[in-house]
């Protein structure tokens, strides 16, 4: 009898884990098109994406602006419900376990900055508007697209170089709020199968401590402070570019991939209630006006607002309410810069 109990309690779960792990192999994937991989598909363009993920939003806005229709495959991340990104079926699409993945005629393209360039190159005249041919304009667009990208296995290290890499740190408050709606059992799946254990560990910790506990987590606050200081510098540079280029867009008269890359950054800052801190009360007027122009575009409504999930809407409201109710929390998050 006791042997049977030991078998049930130890051997069966271990065997399940080993079998499952053998089916959920992960590996880093280089950016760009992978013609050697063919995925099941029914449409010319398909997109695996998540409603909340910044890189996914960038792809949705880009495809909308380019007028490219696509088949949508929503994939949950832990913040929006579960670790579907480390499920067997999604790892077959991207063994790196991250979204977005753009699929063109069955072949995946990885890394969102490569994906938007790839889509623009295959979208005819409209693509050439978003990604200009002329050297100087193209270099400008590439620079501002790169600054807005999230790059590297640990993006939190590159906050000085990239506004995109400041985003994870500045998103911590809403991560903490959204994780409250997700059951702990889902976090266990991440600890077992996620290729980067640090991610489920940090999010699990945020769930445990909650938004109000965030200021008591020194490593998280160091990241948040660093990201906030560096984002301020990136936004100053953006304001200067809008001034010098004459606007209304980063490359002047023309709306380009640079603007596609920045609308999602500014949108994330708004979601996490950083708007007033960075460009409220007369601060950075060029950025404030630019944000108004970006959010007036139909692509913003269709590709971002319309796709917001319930957990994100709850998270947005919870961050605002917590800061309003607790001035010490607001001061801790926003600091003096």
Ligand X SMILES: N[C@@H](CCC(=O)N[C@@H](CS)C(=O)NCC(=O)O)C(=O)O
Q: In the complex with ligand X, which residue's Cβ is closer, 242 or 264? A: 264
From residue 8, how far is each of 1, 3, 16, 86, 185 by CA, in Å?
11, 9, 11, 26, 20
Q: Which residues pair with 252 in a beta bridge?
A: 249
Q: In the complex with ligand X, which residue's Cβ is closer, 57 or 277? A: 57
* Pairing mode, strands 45-49 and 71-74: parallel
- How far apart, in whole angstroms, are the C-alpha atoms of residue 58 and residue 46? 15
Give the footprint of ligand X on this chain (CB under 6 A).
Answer: 53-55, 77, 85, 98-99, 111-113, 150-151, 199
Min dist. Cβ of residue 280 to ligand X (A): 26
Percentages (nearest 5) of helix, strand, coil residues in the chain: 65, 5, 30
Q: In the complex with ligand X, which residue's Cβ is closer, 99 or 329? A: 99
Min dist. Cβ of residue 35 to ligand X (A): 19
Q: Cis peptide before 248, with omega less than 30 degrees from 0?
A: yes
Q: In the complex with ligand X, which residue's Cβ is closer, 91 or 150? A: 150
Q: In the complex with ligand X, which residue's Cβ is closer, 204 or 239? A: 204
Q: In the complex with ligand X, which residue's Cβ is closer, 43 or 201? A: 201
Min dist. Cβ of residue 132 to ligand X (A): 22
Strands (E), the chain: 32-33, 45-49, 71-74, 101-104, 107-110
Q: What are phi and psi of 101, to 5 degrees?
A: -125, 125
If one counts every other C-beta atom within 10 angstroms of the C-beta of residue 168, the result is 21
Q: Which residues contact 152 (CB under 8 A, 6 or more apart)?
A: 158, 165
- How far apart, in whole angstroms, are the C-alpha atoms of residue 142 and residue 225? 28
Min dist. Cβ of residue 53 to ligand X (A): 4
Report CA dihedral (3, 6, 12, 13) to the nearest 10 degrees.
Answer: 180
Min dist. Cβ of residue 54 to ligand X (A): 5
Min dist. Cβ of residue 78 to ligand X (A): 6
Min dist. Cβ of residue 249 to ligand X (A): 22
Min dist. Cβ of residue 20 to ligand X (A): 17
Q: Are 73 and 48 in contact (CB under 8 A)?
A: yes
- The burial of 15, by beta-carbon neighbours within 10 Å (0-12 exposed, 13-18 middle, 19 or more buried), is given as exposed
Q: In the complex with ligand X, which residue's Cβ is closer, 84 or 329? A: 84
Q: In the complex with ligand X, which residue's Cβ is closer, 113 or 207? A: 113
Q: In the complex with ligand X, which residue's Cβ is closer, 199 or 323? A: 199
Min dist. Cβ of residue 81 to ligand X (A): 12
- How far apart, in whole angstroms, are the C-alpha atoms of residue 224 and residue 11? 43
Q: Which residue has the tokens 């010490």?
A: 328
């Amino acid at each position: 009898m006791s042997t049977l109990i030991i078998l049930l309690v130890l051997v069966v779960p271990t065997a399940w884990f080993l079998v499952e792990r053998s089916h959920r192999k992960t590996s880093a994937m280089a950016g760009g098109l992978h013609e050697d991989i063919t995925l099941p598909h029914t449409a010319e363009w398909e997109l695996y994406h998540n409603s909340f993920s910044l890189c996914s939003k960038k792809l949705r806005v880009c495809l909308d602006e380019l007028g490219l229709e696509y088949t949508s495959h929503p994939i949950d991340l832990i913040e929006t419900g579960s670790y579907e990104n480390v499920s067997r079926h999604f790892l077959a699409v991207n063994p790196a376990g991250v979204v977005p993945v753009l699929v063109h005629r069955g072949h995946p393209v990885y890394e969102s900055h490569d994906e938007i360039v790839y889509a623009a190159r295959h979208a005819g005249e409209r693509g050439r508007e978003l990604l200009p041919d002329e050297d100087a304009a193209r270099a400008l667009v590439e620079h501002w697209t790169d600054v807005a990208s999230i790059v590297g296995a640990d993006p939190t290290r590159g906050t000085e170089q990239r506004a995109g890499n400041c985003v994870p740190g500045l998103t911590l408050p809403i991560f903490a709020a959204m994780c409250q709606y997700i059951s702990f059992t889902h976090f266990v799946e991440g600890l077992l199968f996620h290729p980067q254990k640090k991610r489920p560990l940090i999010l699990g910790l945020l769930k445990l401590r909650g938004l109000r506990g965030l200021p008591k987590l020194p490593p998280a606050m160091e990241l948040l402070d660093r990201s906030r200081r560096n984002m301020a510098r990136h936004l100053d540079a953006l304001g200067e570019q809008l001034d010098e280029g004459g606007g209304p867009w980063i490359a002047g008269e023309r709306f380009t991939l640079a603007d596609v890359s920045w609308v999602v950054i500014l949108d994330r800052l708004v979601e996490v209630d950083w708007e007033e801190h960075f460009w409220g009360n007369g601060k950075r007027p060029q950025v404030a006006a630019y944000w108004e122009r970006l959010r007036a575009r139909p692509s913003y409504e269709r590709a971002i607002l319309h796709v917001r999930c319930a957990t994100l809407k709850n998270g947005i409201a919870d961050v605002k309410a917590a800061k309003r109710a607790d001035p010490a929390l607001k001061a801790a998050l926003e600091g003096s810069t």
